[in-house]
């Protein structure tokens, strides 16, 4: 192991700062060395860089092949990185599936990118785990030390920010921090702190978009959508704060807050109307997700049979075993499961057989092109036929015109959702809509009865 090559007779201090699995230094040793480099300041003879390697999708590897196989991969990655860098560089394991390299003599973005790509190619080669060979990919975030005012934590945060960006770009990406990213870091930090405060103070609100039965036009349920307006930042789009909540570990408390508010609101609707609620992809690999959902509906006394949980193909694919277990646990108590954005992900049709779904939602990209694009029309027809054969409910998303609604109805689509039927609204406006709908239905029944009597 790498550490054994350095320490024939390790001291107590060295043992405390050593990762027991890989023999590399741990996070404590890394920051101690980083602090020494920064404190040296002008006396330091050369610039330096930090590179962070994060294994893409490591948990599924351990789940599929076993913990021992996962440990073997981690140990081999450690050995490859340690063997590949020069003697003055420091390689440490700073997280469960994360390694950091403190590399001297790197002074430009170009040189650190070249080094990252070389190391990335090295760690991407196959790994021997007994009778199998497997491959892994890593995302890399890096930064070159060029600001004498940065503390060790602030400098490391720059590399971490680059890593977050690399993870968003996809597996195997390399991002090197640059000066233009500093403002992004400051903005995201402000946004993160504001979001944490908003969640703790209950300031993120659920809005509800109607879902209708296309054949009759009857209102049958609502999808919960998160909305956040900050007193200083103004209205913050979900496309901004939801990914941030996922990255910074806020998604659990945010989900609990929204689900609780949504369940309390839905209790005031007629019992035949359902509540549809989205789970983040990151929550489908979190063993606490089932308890979070079940405890929330228990606390609010909401009937689980009126709740639909929406998951995406992307979320389902990141860790199929974990996702399947969570889906099964939720369905056991009567919660229905809906596969959102169907047709846009990377899962195979075999997943529909493996996962116990109750409903598919046709992605808006197919609906928007339905009237003008023959391939989109055929895809929608195929999805509807598939749902009919598998006895699945189906809802088309993104319906914006009467013509789209009529076309889908003629094609046999059962449910619809989109601006044509109404935008998402807060609890009070949603409740007013429900009451108007009930009043109209009662008047319609009374009028029909009078016609029969005459």
Q: What residues are annotated to the active site?
A: 397
C-alpha–C-alpha distance, residues 260 and 27, integer Å: 38
C-alpha–C-alpha distance, residues 87 and 286, integer Å: 39
Strand-strand pairing, 393-396 and 90-95: unpaired
Q: For residue 406, how many other CB atoms are within 10 A of its CB? A: 12
The three-point CA angle 88-6-45 to 5° equals 20
Helices (H), 124-206: 152-169, 180-200
C-alpha–C-alpha distance, residues 198 and 204, integer Å: 6
Q: Tokens at residue 102, please?
A: 């403190």
The three-point CA angle 58-59-60 to 5° equals 95
Report which DSSP code applies to 316.
H
C-alpha–C-alpha distance, residues 54 and 313, integer Å: 23
Q: Are 275 and 308 in contact (CB under 8 A)?
A: yes
Query: Sheet containing 48-55: which strands, arranged edge to edge?
Result: 90-95, 98-104, 48-55, 138-144, 174-176
The residue among 172, 142, 177 whose CA lies nearest residue 57 is: 172
Chain centroid offset of residue 372 CA? 33
Q: Tokens at residue 377, please?
A: 């029309």
No. of helices (H) and no. of strands (E), the chain:
18, 16
Q: At what angle do helices 109-123 and 67-84 cross, to 10 degrees?
A: 140
C-alpha–C-alpha distance, residues 138 and 95, integer Å: 14
Strand-strand pairing, 127-128 and 133-134: antiparallel
Residue 27, helix vs strand vs coil: helix
Residue showing tokens 């945010």: 254
């Amino acid at each position: 192991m790498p550490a054994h090559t350095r320490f024939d007779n390790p001291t107590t201090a060295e043992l405390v700062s050593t990762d027991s699995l890989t023999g590399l230094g741990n996070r404590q040793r890394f920051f101690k060395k980083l602090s020494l480099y920064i404190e040296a300041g002008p006396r330091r003879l050369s610039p330096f860089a930090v590179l962070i390697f994060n294994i893409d999708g490591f948990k599924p590897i351990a789940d599929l092949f076993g913990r021992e196989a996962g440990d073997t991969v981690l140990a081999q990655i450690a050995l490859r990185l340690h063997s590949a860098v020069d003697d003055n560089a420091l390689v440490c394991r700073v997280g469960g599936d994360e390694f950091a390299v403190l590399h001297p003599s790197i002074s430009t973005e170009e040189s650190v990118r070249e080094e990252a790509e070389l190391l990335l190619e090295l760690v991407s080669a196959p790994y021997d785990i007994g009778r199998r060979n497997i491959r892994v990919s890593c995302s890399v975030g890096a930064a070159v030390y060029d600001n004498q005012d940065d503390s060790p934590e602030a400098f490391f945060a720059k590399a971490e920010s680059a890593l977050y960006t690399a993870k968003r770009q996809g597996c195997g990406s390399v991002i090197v921090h640059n000066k233009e990213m500093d403002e992004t870091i400051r903005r995201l930090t402000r946004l993160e702190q504001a979001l944490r405060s908003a969640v703790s103070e209950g300031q993120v609100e659920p809005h509800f978009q109607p879902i209708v039965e296309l054949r009759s036009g009857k209102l049958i349920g609502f999808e919960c959508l998160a909305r956040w307006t900050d007193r200083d930042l103004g209205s913050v789009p979900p496309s901004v704060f939801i990914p941030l909540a996922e990255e910074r570990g806020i998604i659990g408390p945010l989900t609990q807050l929204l689900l609780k508010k949504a369940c309390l609101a839905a209790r005031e609707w007629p019992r035949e109307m359902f509540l549809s609620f989205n789970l983040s992809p990151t929550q489908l690999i979190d063993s606490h997700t089932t308890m979070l959902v079940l405890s929330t509906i228990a606390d609010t006394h909401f009937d689980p049979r009126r709740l639909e949980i929406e998951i995406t193909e992307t979320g389902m694919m990141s860790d199929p075993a974990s996702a399947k277990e969570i889906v099964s646990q939720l369905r056991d108590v009567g919660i229905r499961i809906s596969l959102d954005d169907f047709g846009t992900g990377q899962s195979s049709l075999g997943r529909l057989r493996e996962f116990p779904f109750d409903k598919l939602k046709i992605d808006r990209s197919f609906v928007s092109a339905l009237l003008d694009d023959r391939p989109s029309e055929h895809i929608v027809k195929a999805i509807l036929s598939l749902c009919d054969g598998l006895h699945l409910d189906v809802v088309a998303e993104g319906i914006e015109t009467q013509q789209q609604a009529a076309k889908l109805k003629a094609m046999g689509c059962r449910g619809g959702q989109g601006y044509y039927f109404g935008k998402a609204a807060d609890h009070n406006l949603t409740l007013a809509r429900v009451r108007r709908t009930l009043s109209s239905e009662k008047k319609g029944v009374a009028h029909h009865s009078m016609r029969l009597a005459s």
